[in-house]
Amino acid sequence: MRRHKGALPTAFGCLEKFMNKKREGDNFRVKPQLLPKVPTKIKGLDEVLNGGLPEGRLTIVSGGPGAGKTIFGLELLVRGIEAGNPAVFISFEESGKAMRQNALSMGWDLSKIEKNDKLALITPEIDFDAVSSGEFHIDGLCAILEGQARRINAKIIVIDAVDMLMRLYNTPERARSQFVTLNRWLVKQNLTAVMTVKETEDAHTVYDYLDFMADCVIKLDQRVHEQVTTRRLHVTKYRGSDFSNREHPFVITRQGIVVMPLTSLDLVQQSIGKLISSSNEKLDVVLGGGFRKGSSVLISGPSGSGKTTLAFMLSEGAAKRGERVLYLSFEQSELSLSSEMKSVGFDLQSQIENGNLRIVPVMPESMGMEEHLYSIIFKIEDYKPDHVVLDAISATDRIGSSQAALDFLIRLYHVAKKRNITCIYTNQTISSKKDELIISGVGISSLVDTAILLNYFRDNDRIGRSVLVLKSRGTRHSDRYHEFRITDEGIVIVDSANN
Amino acid sequence: MNNFAEQQESNPQNHHYTFTLFVIKSGANSERAKENLENHCDKWLQGRYDIKVVDVVEDFQTALKHNILLTPSVLVTGSGLKKVIHGDLSDSRKFAEALNLYNEKDE
């Protein structure tokens, strides 16, 4: 037992003791603990969800017909099972046979995982001719799900087309109370649950409360604009977690869903790379030493001003140093580019042959924005280039709208930045005096590190070509116009570039 | 429709029915549903019925086989009829209608 030194504790000592006691009891503040999450393993989705779906809680996936809800649910469970989490899949819309066929088309053999008790696929037919007499509850369904979940020790449950089930209830209030029952049951079972709901024009009045009930809400959407289909994924709610609250494009490929996220993380990744030579001594002087690795370089100018020639000079120089260049040509075929470049002294063929240059012709009209982006990302991941050339970004408008083009460029920009890939864009400006200083028609100028402007000028009875470095981050570049010529040996800067 | 079938249709007194009642035994309305079912059967189908009760918690497979997701529900079979009635059967008229018994008794 502790004793005080004095005969009586001082008033101050008393107070201090009291305060200390209080502080102990009040000590409930701890470091915030994040909700446990289950990675979906769907490409790009975990980045948007900042880790995955809320573990042991309910996620709602809603969208119109054909938005990709069922595939989403299917892929979620397939990847979940691959990660060692058995799953129950119940669909109120499709037959078991149709579901197995859909899965097979993605390369997933459900019957195999059913046989070894990793998946319980339940596809009840809802009897819409049934008669109602008095009160009934969803408990029967819960008992069925519980039985199946126990049998395979399920961790994940996907409830597909839950709106079909809810049609059995004649009032929204009853449907709602049944959803509450179902959700309570799910939480009690500690199952990571995903419910897909069909969104129709009037459905939001009936199913809006689902969004309140769920911990995470994902909306899928499919739009058709000028015959080009675009798919979007939007996380509108995630209780207790950060998430990327914007629309992300996604595609459904033969390997499954691929989300192409633009997260805030990408935006801060702006480091200054080492200087790379433009492989033209005089141009290097104009540029203040060259351009930076991992930066984005925009070459702007009217038709015939030498943009592609310059882009090729940079590409060939890089390839000769042993760096890899992916050249995306929106305007010309590989063959026509190659012969054109030969005429100005660039030998592309040998760089293609030694594997340092890959030319990919891209038809803007052939696909939607996501498909283009996906196919380019795929090529980048496959080829692992140091530099990507986009000739010309002015053609990306033809993907759909100028908004789609901008989206496409911004996403590609982030993909490149993340991998420290230098991006070289060419952009055709329409010749007019006012346009002289408009470096980009598609609105990416703020993302560009180095802006090079090419133009014509009249010199008595001839046309001269000029180059101006409008900006170049991280270098002390020239602020003057310089004359250049395109010769058999490539680009030659004729005037002195001394500042 | 031939005459025999017509006769059968208009003469439901001859029909024999099997009722499979799906309940959650521990559920509040499971007893009520059973009582209501027995009462209706006594009233409309003297002796011409069997009742089986399935506890979905014990035997979810049978419920699944018959696509029974809601409880209580009763599956009525017999004389070519197959019908599902959802609910605790407190609405006797709905019950009778489902079995085409209503008009007969009412008139």
Q: Where are the beta strands (DSSP E) in A239-331?
A: 247-253, 256-259, 275-276, 291-292, 296-301, 325-329
Closest partner CB to B60 (pick from A125, A147, A168): A147
Q: Nearest CA of chain A to the CA of B60: how many Å?
A: 5
Q: A471: Cβ–Cβ under 8 A, 6 or more apart, which residues?
A: A448, A449, A450, A451, A477
Q: Where are the beta strands (DSSP E) in A161-246?
A: 192-198, 216-225, 228-238
Tell me the pLDDT band of A45, cut-offs 50, 70 and 90. Answer: very high
Q: Hey, what amino acid is at A165?
A: L
User: Please, are residues A330 and A390 in contact by the beta-carbon 8 Å criterion?
Assistant: yes
- Rounded to 5°, angle at Cα A471 from A470 and A475: 130
Confidence (pLDDT) at B37 = 93
Cβ pair A134:B22 closer than 8 A: no
Is residue A304 helix, strand or coil?
coil
Tell me the pLDDT band of A303, cut-offs 50, 70 and 90. Answer: confident
Least confident window among A45-49, A480-484, B42-46? B42-46
User: Please, are residues A467 and A452 in contact by the beta-carbon 8 Å criterion?
Assistant: yes
Cβ pair A130:B60 closer than 8 A: no
Higher pLDDT, A426 or B2: A426
pLDDT in tens, A88-145: 999 998 899 999 998 999 899 999 999 999 999 999 988 888 888 888 889 899 999 9
Closest partner CB to B24 (pick from A122, A124, A143): A143
pLDDT in tens, A181-196: 898 899 899 999 999 9
Cβ pair B63:A146 closer than 8 A: no
Tell me the pLDDT band of A82, cut-offs 50, 70 and 90. Answer: very high
Confidence (pLDDT) at A269 = 52
Q: Which residues of B touch A (CB under 8 A)?
A: 22, 24, 27, 29, 33, 36, 56-57, 60-61, 63-64, 67-73, 83-92, 94-95, 97-98
Distance CA A86, CA B7 (A): 54
Least confident window among A60-74, A91-105, A128-142, A198-212? A198-212
Q: Nearest CA of chain B to the CA of A191: how many Å?
A: 18
State the number of CA atoms in the 13 A half-sphere of A35 facing the CB: 22
Q: Which residues of B touch A143 (CB under 8 A)?
A: 24, 56-57, 60, 63, 71
Query: Residue B91: pLDDT above 80?
Result: yes
Confidence (pLDDT) at A265 = 46
Q: At what angle do helices A172-189 and A139-152 cross, to 10 degrees?
A: 20
State the number of CA atoms in the 13 A half-sphere of B80 facing the CB: 7
Tell me the mean pLDDT in the region A480-490: 87
Say which residue the tokens 């449950």 belong to.
Answer: A157
State the number of CA atoms in the 13 A half-sphere of A257 facing the CB: 28
Integer CA distances (angstroms), A463 to A340, A454, A460, in order: 21, 13, 8
Confidence (pLDDT) at A437 = 47
Confidence (pLDDT) at A444 = 63
Mutate to test the interface with B, among A91, A128, A129, A131 (most CBs of B within 10 A): A131
DSSP 8-class letter at A43: B
Task: Report the 10 Å Cβ neighbour count for A232.
Answer: 18
Confidence (pLDDT) at A87 = 97
Confidence (pLDDT) at A42 = 93
Q: Where are the beta strands (DSSP E) in A146-191?
A: 156-160
Tell me the mean pLDDT in the region A58-79: 92
Mean of the per-residue pLDDT values for chain A? 83
Q: Which residues of B touch A140 (CB under 8 A)?
A: 22, 24, 56, 63, 68-71, 73
Token output for A431: 């010749």
Tell me the mean pLDDT in the region A22-28: 65
Confidence (pLDDT) at A264 = 47
pLDDT in tens, B3-53: 555 555 556 567 789 999 999 988 778 899 999 999 999 888 888 899 999
Q: What is the percentage of chain A residues whose pLDDT exceeds 70?
A: 85
Cβ pair B90:A146 closer than 8 A: no
pLDDT in tens, A331-351: 877 778 878 778 778 888 888
Cβ pair B56:A165 closer than 8 A: no
Tell me the mean pLDDT in the region A173-180: 85
Residue in chain A closest to B37 (alpha carbons) equals A133
Say which residue the tokens 């059995």 belong to.
Answer: A168
Confidence (pLDDT) at B103 = 64
Closest partner CB to A136 (pick from B56, B88, B95): B88
Tell me the three-class secondary structure of A414-455, residue by residue.
HHHHHCCCEEEEEEECCCCHHHHHCCCCCCCHHHCCEEEEEE
Cβ pair B63:A140 closer than 8 A: yes
Task: Report the 10 Å Cβ neighbour count for A191.
Answer: 23
Tell me the mean pLDDT in the region A248-260: 84
Tell me the pLDDT band of A435, cut-offs 50, 70 and 90. Answer: very low
Confidence (pLDDT) at A145 = 94
Token output for A72: 């989403």
Q: Maximum CA pair distance of chain A?
A: 112
Q: Nearest CA of chain A to the CA of B36: how many Å?
A: 10
Confidence (pLDDT) at A302 = 86
Query: Residue A478: pLDDT above 70?
Result: yes
Confidence (pLDDT) at B74 = 94
Higher pLDDT, A158 or A179: A158
Confidence (pLDDT) at A445 = 63
Q: What is the H or E stretch that residue B77 is in?
A: strand B73-78
Confidence (pLDDT) at A436 = 43
Confidence (pLDDT) at A446 = 65
Lateral strand order in the sheet of B81-86: A131-132, B81-86, B73-78, B17-23, B49-55
Integer CA distances (angstroms), A315 to A311, A396, B43, in order: 6, 21, 92
**CA-wise closest residue to A196 among A162, A172, A220:** A162
Residue in chain A closest to B96 (alpha carbons) equals A133
Confidence (pLDDT) at A78 = 95
Mean of the per-residue pLDDT values for chain B? 83
Tell me the pLDDT band of A1, cut-offs 50, 70 and 90. Answer: very low
Higher pLDDT, A225 or A276: A276
Q: What is the percentage of chain B residues whose pLDDT exceeds 90?
A: 43
φ/ψ of residue A82, rounded to 5? -60, -35
Query: Residue B1: pLDDT above 50?
Result: no
Tell me the mean pLDDT in the region A198-215: 74
pLDDT in tens, A269-282: 556 678 888 888 88
Query: Residue B100: pLDDT above 60?
Result: yes
C-alpha dihedral (A56, A57, A63, A65), degrees to nearest 10 = 50
Query: Residue A414: pLDDT above 60?
Result: yes
Higher pLDDT, A378 or A27: A378
